[in-house]
């Protein structure tokens, strides 16, 4: 199976051995970040640094001023962690080592935007804003995300793209010194705490026949049981139990429609900007009401639009099945199984070969390895051994 490893530009730039070392893993492709959220990242082999702190979400190339002139929101330039055309420099090094480069574009996950423009953020039923989570129902935010997808995806030398966070982001977020785990939230609690009540979403709920003025109160009342520790039925049944089936269905109908339309618009914008044969994949979860980096999607709908999906499989490859069952007849769709190969982040590089075989049996056509820049030497050695066995 074709295999790609994730990298950041700062893993490559300034390290003359990085490109050859990556190619030596046995991968054919690199998924290289071109637009990324704030992070603190280890660089265990870089000759000049060991920790990179990206203090805000940024594009890792020079943004097109003509595209963004006078617009709010607009992309932020990176600081000294990725100066200039950091993506382009790294992409050229990787291509020189014989690797095919695809862009890795993070979209609706941007704490800097939420800090500078609070009205763009998701607002929960209590009035709390989530600055990391732009509300994708707002027209200006949607226009920004669609244009950012096209610009950040179609970089010189790129053969394809993987679009991350192209959908709703909610409560779940690895924040600095995170302290929100005091009450365990299952799928139902996460959903209710991720519902947005900004003006655009209130209008959207009203369009679904819901009483938008009453809805935040209803959600707060439903969550009272969660804060008291009452168990729910989990999954969508738990949402219906807490909120009522009709109200739950109305909120989901609004959110599914918004996310699906955004996903279709972004893919269309990338295709319009890209050369023929440019591959467009989404990081995706087959449960449409799920939030986060792997955006919830309708499998059949997204596979009719994009070339395929990248599916989280570190905890098991079961999420591949709904996508495999939804593949359009007569069309080849990429189902890339994404495995964490960093032991310190919960990955299992030693079982990669067996995990890949199980994923293939469930329909996976490609592999993704997260993350070649963060992994230890021992982790990378296990990856090389696994990929050699698979080939």
Nearby residues of 80 by Cβ (< 8 Å), 6 or more positions away: none
Answer with the residue of higher pLDDT: 156 or 183: 156
Residue 67 in any domain: the answer is: yes
- 121-123/129-134 β-pairing: antiparallel
H/E stretch holding 93 reads helix 86-96
Q: Return the CATH number at 292.
A: 3.20.20.80
- Average pLDDT of the residues in 367-378: 98
The number of domains in the chain is 1
What does the mean pLDDT of the chain come to?
96
pLDDT digits over 302-319, tens only? Answer: 999 999 999 999 999 999
Residue 177 has pLDDT above 90, yes or no: no
Which pLDDT belongs to residue 286? 98
Residue 182 in any domain: the answer is: no
Residue 89 in any domain: the answer is: yes
Give the separation between CA 285 and CA 188, rounded to whole angstroms. 16
Which pLDDT belongs to residue 14? 98
pLDDT digits over 344-364, tens only? Answer: 999 999 999 999 999 999 999
Which pLDDT belongs to residue 134? 98
pLDDT category, 233, cuts 50, 70, 90? confident
Residue 321 has pLDDT above 90, yes or no: yes
pLDDT digits over 164-176, tens only? Answer: 999 999 998 877 7
CA 51 to chain centre: 23
Residue 379 has pLDDT above 70, yes or no: yes
Give the separation between CA 84 and CA 67, rounded to whole angstroms. 18
C-alpha distance from residue 174 to each of 40, 179, 345 (Å):
11, 10, 13
Range of the domain at 325: 2-123+131-175+260-390
Per the confidence metrics, is the pTM higher than 0.95? yes
Residue 91 in any domain: the answer is: yes
Give the separation between CA 234 and CA 127, rounded to whole angstroms. 25
- The pLDDT > 90 percentage for the chain reads 92
Structure tokens at 71: 């617009």
Give the number of other CB atoms < 10 A from CB of residue 37.
Answer: 22
Residue 357 in any domain: the answer is: yes
pLDDT category, 391, cuts 50, 70, 90? low
Which pLDDT belongs to residue 330? 81
Residue 188 in any domain: the answer is: no
Residue 341 has pLDDT above 70, yes or no: yes
Residue 24 in any domain: the answer is: yes
Which pLDDT belongs to residue 182? 81
């Amino acid at each position: 199976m074709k295999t790609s490893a994730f990298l950041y530009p700062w893993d490559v730039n300034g390290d003359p051995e990085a490109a050859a070392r990556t190619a030596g893993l046995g991968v054919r492709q690199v998924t290289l970040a071109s637009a990324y959220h704030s992070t603190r990242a280890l660089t265990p082999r870089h000759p000049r640094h060991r920790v990179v702190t990206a203090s805000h979400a940024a594009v890792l190339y020079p943004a097109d001023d003509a595209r963004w002139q006078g617009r709010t929101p607009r992309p932020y330039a990176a600081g000294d962690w990725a100066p200039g055309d950091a993506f382009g420099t790294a992409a050229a090094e990787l291509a020189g080592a014989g690797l095919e480069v695809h862009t890795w574009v993070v979209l609706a996950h941007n704490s800097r935007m939420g800090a500078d423009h609070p009205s763009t953020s998701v607002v929960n039923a209590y009035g709390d804003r989530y600055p990391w989570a732009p509300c994708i129902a707002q027209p200006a935010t949607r226009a920004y995300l669609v244009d950012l997808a096209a610009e950040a995806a179609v970089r010189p030398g790129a053969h394809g793209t993987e679009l991350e966070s192209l959908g709703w982001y909610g409560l779940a977020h690895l924040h600095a010194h995170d302290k929100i785990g005091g009450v365990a939230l299952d799928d139902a609690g996460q959903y209710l705490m991720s519902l947005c009540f900004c003006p655009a979403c209130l209008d959207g709920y009203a369009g679904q026949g819901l009483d938008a003025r009453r809805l935040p109160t209803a959600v707060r009342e439903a969550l009272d049981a969660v804060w008291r520790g009452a168990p729910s039925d989990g999954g969508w049944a738990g949402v219906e139990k807490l909120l009522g089936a009709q109200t739950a269905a109305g909120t989901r109908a609004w959110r599914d429609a918004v996310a699906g339309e955004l996903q279709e618009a972004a893919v269309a914008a990338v295709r319009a900007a890209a050369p023929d044969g440019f591959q467009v994949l989404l990081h995706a979860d087959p449960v449409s009401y799920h939030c986060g980096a792997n955006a919830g999607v309708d499998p059949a709908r997204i596979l009719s639009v994009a070339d395929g999906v990248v599916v989280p499989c570190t905890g098991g490859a079961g999420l591949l099945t709904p996508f495999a069952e939804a593949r359009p007849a007569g069309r080849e769709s990429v189902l890339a199984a994404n495995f964490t190969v960093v032991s310190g982040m919960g990955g299992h590089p030693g079982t990669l070969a067996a995990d890949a075989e199980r994923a293939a049996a469930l329909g996976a056509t490609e592999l993704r390895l997260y993350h070649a820049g963060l992994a230890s030497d021992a982790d990378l050695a296990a990856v090389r051994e696994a990929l050699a066995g698979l080939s």
